[in-house]
Copies of this chain bind each other. A is one copy, B any other.
């Protein structure tokens, strides 16, 4: 077996945002040599990698030349040049998750057809060349419009309540999808290593703000019936098997009013819904991703304690040098750990960090999370 630890082995990571930064804690823990490529010269990952390069993730030559230097190449964001990854793979660089997986995920139309072809339960949909091509008769309002390309963090998604809503949408290939009245939004992270070993993490639940329709808390374990949890894990494993990915696959799902579980979308990388695992799980998602792509044995996915995760996003009306108001106050609460991503400038709704709250008792962790959410504000100086 190849010697990965304190050796000449080189791991490349496309993207230097917070996911890459958190992954680097674990490459450091294992003393694995890392190369990072990111378009920004102030990327959060800049510190803690061995070699940093500034450049476009969508440019063929940049990605190809970067990838040629390393033994294994991975990514922390899906919007990367797939052609370059395919060429690198052909030339012997190990690219995980594989470019073929990314091909089935990057385009949301292709991703939805992949579910249909593999008999994976998902909301009914149709593909269109552009939004105005969606006939008024096609489905009842409200329904969901999604851009096939480039959707991320809620961008490229819209709720269509009447025909006129289509008019302001960009002229890009898209899908129209039934809007699912759901009880819960759930997620399961599946990990698969090069040898084909597979493990699933416990089901997490996104708790929404009652009015704002925005995820407020990511809760592990989900407060759902054990049968539904088993079903969600089984479906996530089925999705994982269909993709045959190497690395993490975060599977986002809806639990419908009648306890069906439908796949919404997947991300082939560490995921916001898995951040709790740093404090909560026996093996955090970032270490697990490394174990998988380096073909090491997978770690235990169980939780040590219950967890609630709260995202820290920039407050509305604040742009400029960031201040985390009341951060000391939340650190005084039991089991609270803030994670600051290292972006110097805040903007409204920008993801600036997250806070994990852990406790043996989930109800207590949830109560503390509410206090955290009330206290801390991400504002500009």
Contacts and interface: CB of A to CB of B under 8 A. Distances in A.
A296 to B, nearest CB: 5
A299 interface: yes
A347 B40 CA distance: 41
B29 A335 contact: no
A263 to B, nearest CB: 30
Interface residues of A, number: 48
Contacts of A328: 1, 296-297
B25 A28 contact: yes
A259 interface: no
A5 B297 contact: no
A28 B5 contact: no
A304 B358 contact: yes
Contact of A322 (B6, B48, B49): B6
B25 A340 contact: no
B3 A339 contact: no
A342 B324 CA distance: 33
A359 to B, nearest CB: 9
Contacts of A162: none
Contacts of A342: 6, 28, 31
A41 to B, nearest CB: 14
A5 B312 CA distance: 13
A305 B305 CA distance: 9
A297 B331 contact: yes
A282 B364 CA distance: 15
A159 to B, nearest CB: 35
A258 B157 CA distance: 71
A328 to B, nearest CB: 5
Interface string A289-327: 001000011011000110000000000000001111001
Residue of A1, A331, A341 most packed against chain B (CB within 10 A): A331
Interface in A364-379: none
Interface in A21-79: 21, 24-25, 28-31, 47-50
Which 8 residue pairs are nearest across A and B when measured between Cβ atoms? Answer: A297-B332, A31-B340, A31-B342, A48-B48, A304-B304, A297-B331, A5-B340, A304-B305
